[in-house]
Amino acid sequence: MILSDFDLRAYLSSGRLRVDPFSEEIVRENGIDLRLGKNYCMVVESDSVLNLSKNEDLSKYYECSESEEFILKPNKRYLLHTLEYVSLPPELMGFVELRSTFARLGLMIPPTIIDGGFEGQITIEVLSTSFPINLKAGIRFLHVVFSKLTTPVSKPYRGKYQGQKGVKLPVLKD
């Protein structure tokens, strides 16, 4: 079952679903809009082979920075994050999508799920379009549709990205 704005407000007011900082304007008809944070990392081209079986320093594959305003270069991949820190109860999960205006500009994100029990800022991969786009921190960028599970998950998320803040680079070790 997809939660409506009525259901979302009930979850938020009860504290079962937490969004911090919260603003009433982010609650939409069937989800919550999340705003863009100010950390970003561009994936850089490299001839260096990444060995997934080694505990390798991945920072050499990214150029990371922080700014209130930045430009997405054409046809590049970025890691961005949300301003909001979210906390989901074990009976909810979220489908993360771009707001339609950004999708209509040609930006893309891979399918992204927020697991029941997750808490943290959301790190999202974005594939830029064929022209530069200026983004400002705080702009409503993502839309999350929440679904109530038929039963709460028996093992709420406690993985390597729990509690993340800012852009979190991939963690290869289990």
What confidence tens digit (pLDDT) does each residue in 144-154 have?
A: 999 999 999 99
Whether residue 154 is contained in a domain is answered as no
Does residue 55 lie within any of the structural domains? no
Mark whether 29 is an active-site residue.
Answer: no
> Is 163 inside a domain boundary?
no
Whole-number Å distance between alpha carbons of 90 and 70: 35
Q: Which of 56, 91, 119, 125 is catalytic?
A: 125
Residue 156 in domain = no
Q: Environment class of residue 102 by beta-carbon count within 10 Å: exposed (0-12), middle (13-18) or buried (19+)?
A: buried
- Flag whether 20 is in a domain: yes
| Residue whose C-alpha is closest to residue 137's, from 100, 92, 84 | 84
pLDDT bucket at 42, cuts 50 / 70 / 90? very high
Residue 155 lies in a domain: no
Residues 6+ apart with CB under 8 A from 45: none
Residue 36 within a domain: yes
Rounded Cα–Cα distance for residues 155 and 61 (Å):
33
Q: What is the pLDDT of residues 22-36, one digit of tens each?
A: 999 999 999 999 999
- The answer to whether residue 153 sits within a structural domain is no
CATH number at residue 78: 2.70.40.10
Look up the domain containing 137 and give its range.
5-45+60-148
Which H or E run includes 37?
A: strand 32-43
Domain count, the chain: 1
